[in-house]
Chains A and B, each alone.
Chain A
Amino acid sequence: MDETRFTIGRRALLGGAIATLSAPALLLRAARAEDEPIKIGFPTPLTGPFGAEAKDQVQCAQLAIKQFNAAGGLKGRQAELLVRDDKLNPGEAATRTLELIEKDKVACIVGALSASVQLATNEVTKARGVVYVSISQSDAITAAPDFSRTTFHEALNPHMTAGAVARHVFKPGMKVAILLADYAYGQEMAAGFRRAAEAIGGVDIVLEQKHPFGAADYSTFIPALRAAKADVVCICNFGRDQANSIKQAVDLGLKRQSKIVVPVLLYNQRLAGSADAFEGIIGGSNYYWTIEDRLPAAKAFNDAYRSETNGNTPSDYGAYGYAGVRIVLDAMRRAGSVEPDALVHELEGAHYETYKGPETMRACDHQAVQSVLILDSKAKAAMKTPSDFFDIVAVENGTEKNLRSCADLGHTVAAQ
């Protein structure tokens, strides 16, 4: 980040001195030699409630850059990550993305942690034909009208995640209640559970209880969930909402009568929450570090991360940061170019393995088809190390069957 600070200072000084003469400034900007580093813009919410996730994303993204550079870069050209704080605010993210494209001339953008931020970033990149790899969950970004030729989605989406959890937990004859945060993420997750329940058949969804996004107190939503006497309660919310609502649901006696499941069991929220509150809660994830026992790619990723961080283990959202940067760097090397058209050509329909087993970038919607891990939160007594949070109880391998169809997403064959 020191480099950036220097650039700003220099620009500001230069700019101040020659405010009236724009020509030299333009010349400076035009200087783009082939030996300049390949810049990758990385907006992520460093400040705010997801600071820890964001920090880990940066750590992992830097790892991908380091590996690329160590392997010789792109014909000797090195890559460089420009990290920007989007403050979890779509307006801020749009401004930062504009800056990265207009001033820093980045080759592509990777990042974002919330649905609204990634959609804002996407709106800016798509108008300017810049490749964007989103690494946060959303169903909207791969569907019309948000989708564009240069939009890629490396993260799981709510349809896949909730679907996988539902297929693991729901059995015919079950009564299911859903608590959802009343915004896109919660609604998409709830829709995922609903569609999966229909496909399984015989699952009765007895209650859909909405709560406002960012609520601090859930005690007012729990009585109705208790009264529903469901076998399974699905809690569809994210981040602090998840930790808060699980804690309060357990305190108010919900866990004693119903199985609690969540679409995404977050590594960092489990870290912030207590083992007792999370014990026995089942949820999906893109990654959990103990998968290294089964996958050599995960072992390699974990080991590389460990040697960077004195033996720590990467988190789920951190791993997305690694994969997002890695797939564009790999595409650059394959294409021998950083031009958007070449990157799109390389990424579309690509089969690759970066950290978690095989993935495919589906051609019609640029969604990474990948596995979903089903995790079960361990009791405090069963934890062997401080980061031994979950048991991997199942792995649902990636298949197009578990995605919404291209036509359903609004992509016609002619449009490709």
Chain B
Amino acid sequence: MSFDLIMAQLFAGVALGAVFVLLSTGLSVIFGMLGVVNFAHGAFFMVGAYAGVFILALTGNFWIALAAVPLLVGAMGLAVERFLVRPLYGRGSDYPLLLTFGLGYVLVEVVRILFGSDGMPFETPELLTGGIDIEGLGYFQTYRLFVIGMTGLLMLCLWLLLERTRYGLIIRAASRDPEIVAVLGVDVRRVFLLVFGLGTGLAALAGLLAAPMRTVNPEMGVTVLIEAFVVTVIGGMGSLLGGAIAGMLVGIVVSLTALFMPEMSTISMFALMALVLLVRPYGLFGRGVLAR
């Protein structure tokens, strides 16, 4: 087992971990703040990729797509929260679960009707093609380096938003005790609305960033949903830091098992999750008592 092979494998793991982090953040934010398990998360991921295809075909510019897709799909998320999820608050977490499950079906089918069930290619943006070949260290694909960078930047922005702004303070407070926050004169419903939009926007961004690495197809959100759950649960649902650490951990574990025991590379993720939960029943950074 040569050194550069292990290096390449670790790099692959970190790049994969970055995708996992992106994936799970949106899910985690929505769960942590709203107590809603969003089963349509994978579908929003897929919609993000297709929205990217659409905007790219329209403008021919990846960077415009990168800015527009989260806003577009985030706006869709706002509508979903306002008209579908909002009537369900206070009815227990099973209801949003079933509703978003149904929504996932609808979104996948609508995409099949609009774009066909074949799937479509998504070229890596011109600027980010190719890679860096470092002798003795391995080959690093530019686009994956870019995804790692984007993930880091995004996590930093989110952290600043939630921990360092007045708005973040309100969001955190509303997730702990919405009634008190409402009494203090804050429109909690608007906070929930924006958090849901933020979560779906993040899912869409993850889908767009994943599109040039994978092909775009209507079913691309299915496995992704399960992966996002695993990462979120390992990190502790609702914990931003936990999700980031768990995402990287899962990426590296999956990558190294792919090298040493390829048959076990998918199962390793679930074994890790089972192991973590048996030792820490609420995940690595989860709060013992749930908000709702």
Q: Determine direct contact between A and B, CB below 8 Å.
A: yes
Give the B-binding residues of A (Cβ under 8 A). 47-49, 51-52, 182, 209-212, 214-217, 219-224, 226-227, 240, 243-244, 247-248, 251-253, 268, 271-274, 276-277
| A210 engages B123 (CB within 8 Å) | no
B215 pairs with A212, CB closer than 8 A = no
Using Cβ atoms and an 8 Å threshold, which residues of chain B touch A216?
214, 220, 223-224
B80 to chain A, nearest CB (A): 23
CB distance from B145 to the nearest CB of A (A): 12
With A247-B215, A274-B123, A277-B121 already in contact, the answer to whether A220 and B265 are too (CB < 8 A) is yes
Could you list some 30 contacts between A and B, CB below 8 A? A49-B217, A49-B219, A51-B118, A212-B263, A219-B15, A220-B12, A221-B258, A223-B5, A223-B8, A223-B9, A223-B138, A223-B259, A224-B5, A227-B5, A240-B119, A243-B119, A243-B215, A244-B214, A247-B121, A247-B213, A248-B213, A248-B214, A251-B213, A252-B141, A253-B131, A271-B118, A272-B118, A272-B217, A276-B123, A277-B121
Min CB gap A224→B, angstroms: 6
Would B223 and A214 count as touching, CB distance under 8 A?
Answer: yes
Chain B residue numbers with a CB within 8 Å of A268 are 118
Chain B residues closer than 8 Å to A240, beta-carbon distance: 119, 215, 217, 219
**Binary per-residue interface labels of chain B (119-163) against chain A in the complex, 1 for a CB within 8 Å, 0 otherwise:** 111011000000101000011010110000000000000000000
0/1 interface trace, chain B 1-32, chain A, CB 8 Å (1 if under): 01011001100110110010000000000000
B176 beta carbon closer than 8 Å to chain A: no
Interface residues on B, range: 35 or more
Determine the chain B residues whose CB is within 8 A of the CB of A210 once the complex forms.
262-263
**A220 and B16 within 8 A (CB):** yes
Q: Smallest Cβ distance from B151 to chain A, in angstroms?
A: 15
Most-contacted residue by chain A among B120, B214, B217, B220 (CB, 10 A): B214
Distance A244 CA – B121 CA, assembled complex (angstroms): 10
Task: Report if A272-B139 is in contact (Cβ < 8 Å); known contacts: A212-B263, A214-B223.
Answer: no
Residues B100-121 near A (CB distance < 8 A): 112, 116-121
Contact of B12 among A212, A219, A271, A273 (CB under 8 A): A219
For residue B254, CB closer than 8 A to chain A, the reply is yes
Say yes or no: A220 contacts B255, CB within 8 Å.
Answer: yes
- B16 vs chain A, min Cβ distance (A): 6
**Closest residue of B by beta carbon distance from A209:** B262
Chain B 231-271, CB-CB to A under 8 Å as 1, else 0, gives 00000000000000000000000110011001101100000
Q: Roughly how many angstroms separate A51 CA and B219 CA in the complex, as a whole number?
A: 11
Contact A51 B138 (CB under 8 A): no
CB distance from A89 to the nearest CB of B (A): 13
Q: With a CB–CB cut-off of 8 A, which chain A residues contact B12? A: 219-220, 222-223
Contact B215 A244 (CB under 8 A): yes
B residues less than 8 Å from A224 (CB atoms): 5, 9, 259
| Docked-complex contact A52 and B116, CB < 8 angstroms | yes
Across the interface, do B263 and A182 meet the contact criterion of CB distance under 8 Å? yes
Name the distance in Å between A363's Cβ and chain B's nearest Cβ. Answer: 38
Quick one: given A209-B262, A248-B213, A272-B121, are A217 and B219 in contact (CB under 8 Å)? no
Across the interface, do A226 and B139 meet the contact criterion of CB distance under 8 Å? yes
Contact of A220 among B139, B258, B263 (CB under 8 A): B258
Q: A240-B215, A271-B118 are in contact. Are A219 and B262 (CB under 8 A)?
A: no
- Are A252 and B118 interface neighbours, CB within 8 A? no
- Chain A minimum-CB-distance residue to B221: A216
User: Which residue of chain B has the shortest Cβ distance to A51 in the bound complex?
Assistant: B117
- B138's nearest neighbour on chain A, judged by CB, is A223
CA distance A212 to B266 in the complex (A): 7
How far apart are the CA atoms of A209 and B9 in the complex, in Å?
14
Q: Is the CB of A220 within 8 A of B144?
A: no
Smallest beta-carbon distance A279→chain B, Å: 12
Residues of chain B within 8 A (CB-CB) of A227 are 2, 4-5, 8
Across the interface, which residues of A come within 8 angstroms of B213, CB to CB?
A: 217, 219, 247-248, 251
Chain B residues with CB under 8 Å of A277's CB are: 121
A272 touches B120 (CB 8 A): yes
Q: Chain A residues near B258 (CB, 8 Å)? A: 211, 220-221
Min Cβ gap B115→A in Å is 11
Check B16 against A217 for contact (C-beta < 8 Å). yes
**Chain A residue with the shortest CB-CB distance to B16:** A217
List, in ascending order, chain B residues with CB within 8 A of A49's CB.
117, 119, 217, 219
Q: How far is the CA of A182 from the CA of B257 in the complex (A)?
A: 15
Q: How far is the CB of B116 from chain A (nearest CB, A)?
A: 7
Report whether B254 and A220 are in contact in the complex, using a CB–CB cutoff of 8 Å.
yes
What is the bound-complex CA distance between A52 and B258, given in angstroms? Answer: 31
> Whole-angstrom distance from the CB of A122 to the nearest CB of chain B?
26
By a CB distance below 8 angstroms, the chain B residues around A274 are 121, 123
Nearest opposing residue in chain A for B122, CB measure: A274
Asked whether, in the complex, the Cβ of B131 is within 8 Å of the Cβ of A182, the reply is no
> Could you say which residues of chain A place their CB within 8 Å of the CB of B119?
49, 240, 243, 272
From A215, A251, A253, A276, B266 is in contact (CB under 8 Å) with A215
Most chain-B Cβ atoms within 10 A of its Cβ — which of A211, A220, A226?
Answer: A220
Note all chain B residues with C-beta closer than 8 A to A222. Answer: 12
Smallest beta-carbon distance A257→chain B, Å = 10
Cβ contact within 8 Å between B121 and A273: yes
Bound: A182/B15 CA distance, A: 23
Instruction: Give residues 40-88 of B contacting A (CB, 8 Å).
Output: none
Complex: A214 Cα to B144 Cα, angstroms: 21
Q: How far is the CA of A227 from the CA of B6 in the complex (A)?
A: 10
Contact (A220, B13) CB under 8 Å given A52-B116, A212-B263, A244-B214: yes
What is the chain A residue whose CB lies nearest that of B120?
A: A272
Does A217 lie within 8 Å of B131, measured CB to CB?
Answer: no
Beta-carbon nearest neighbor of B20 in chain A: A217
- Check B141 against A217 for contact (C-beta < 8 Å): no
Report the minimum CB–CB distance from A57 to chain B (whole Å): 13
List A contacts of B121 (CB < 8 A).
Answer: 247, 272-274, 277
**Chain B, Cβ-Cβ closest to A253:** B139
Beta-carbon contact of A226 and B8 below 8 Å: yes
Q: Verify B215–A273 contact, CB threshold 8 A.
A: yes
Question: Most B CB atoms within 10 A — which of A217, A224, A247?
Answer: A217
Residues of B within 8 A of A253 (CB): 131, 133, 139, 141
**What's the Cα separation between A243 and B262 when bound, in Å?**
20
Question: Which residue, of B12, B16, B215, B259, has the highest number of chain A Cβ atoms within 10 A?
Answer: B215
Assembly CA distance A212 to B269 (angstroms): 13
CB-CB under 8 A from B5, the residues of chain A are 223-224, 227
